[in-house]
Structure 1
Amino acid sequence: MIRSISEALAHKRSELGQKEKGFTLIELLVVVIIIGILAAIAIPIFLGQQDSAKDAGVKSDLATAKIAIVSYYTDGATAAPTLALLAPYGYAKSDNTESVTITTAPTGSGTPFCIDGVSKSSSSTKFKVTHNAGVVKGNC
């Protein structure tokens, strides 16, 4: 009786040893390589999306600054506008904007203006908006 139990137990142990299977080193390496390839594709796309978002933030800042300058002149102001003077009119520089510069024409010439903005993106893209046009790439 003990002998039959020992044989059954030995048979069961040998079956368990055969059923235990895992991943081979080659299979694990293939998975790691595939994950590396996917990361190499995804990271540049993600960085490009960040730059696009920063550029969009600068465009929004420049559009807001244009509205603030028009409001400033509509209130009868004659002095050249500065960023500090535009704050009461709703302008506030966002974190995506590196710098903003306002250029105005001499007084009495219909108050034309141009606003430059530089993005904090990796390429430091420059945008401008003028009194008679929308936001476009370039300098004043």
Structure 2
Amino acid sequence: MLNNERGFTLIEMLIVLLVISVLLIITIPNMSKNSTTVKDKGCEALLKTTEAQVEAYFIDNSKRPESLQTLITEGYITQSTCPDGSELQYEDGVVSAPASSE
């Protein structure tokens, strides 16, 4: 008879799978709820960075950039698109975020 069998029984494996399933059921809806918040915060961060880079461009060139594309071309920023796909607006030296879709 084999008394020293090592490994998991079928019941133990089912219990582990049940625990993992419960954890997934709890966490996945919470992550999807927060994706809008993450995108909004990403757009806010891009806005602040772009505003700072407009000022850096002004310091370097003694004039405001003509457009956000100028900042991209000159290497001050790498993008002007928020994580949600909307574009930052730039007019008369002022950078603004698009209106929220909420």
TM-score, normalised relative to structure 1? 0.45
* Alpha-carbon distance between aligned partners in 2 of 1:102 and 1:96, rounded to the nearest angstrom: 11
Tell me: higher relative CO, structure 1 or 2? Use CA pairs within 8 A at least 6 residues apart: 2
1:89-127, Cα deviation, whole Å (9 max, x unpaired):
6122178632323243xxxxxx5624115xxxxxxxx6x
Match of 1:100 among 83, 87, 97: 87
Match of 2:77 among 68, 74, 91: 91
Q: SS at 1:42's partner residue? A: helix
Matched residue, 2:45: 60
**Conserved? CA contact 1:102–1:115, under 8 Å:** yes
Q: SS at 1:99's partner residue? A: coil
Matched residue, 1:32: 17
The verdict on how the C-alpha distance between 1:31 and 1:51 changes in structure 2, with shifts beyond 3 A counting, is same
* Alpha-carbon distance between aligned partners in 2 of 1:116 and 1:48, rounded to the nearest angstrom: 22
Instruction: Give 1:27 deviation, angstroms.
Output: 4.1
What root-mean-square deviation, in Å, do the aligned CA atoms of Structure 1 and Structure 2 show? 3.8
Give 1 or 2 for the bigger CA radius of gyration.
1
Counterpart residue type for residue 99 of structure 1: S
Structure 2 unaligned runs (5+)? Answer: none
TM-score, normalised relative to structure 2? 0.56
Q: Which structure's residues are more often helix, by fraction?
A: 2
* Alpha-carbon distance between aligned partners in 2 of 1:60 and 1:112, rounded to the nearest angstrom: 18
Structure 1 unaligned runs (5+)? Answer: 1-15, 105-110, 118-125, 127-137
**Conserved? CA contact 1:81–1:102, under 8 Å:** no
Matched residue, 1:69: 54
**Conserved? CA contact 1:57–1:94, under 8 Å:** no
Superposed, 1:1-140 pairs within 5 Å as 16=1, 19=3, 23=9, 25-47=10-32, 53-73=38-58, 75-77=62-64, 81-87=66-72, 88=74, 90-93=76-79, 97=83, 98-104=85-91, 111=92, 113-116=94-97, 138=100
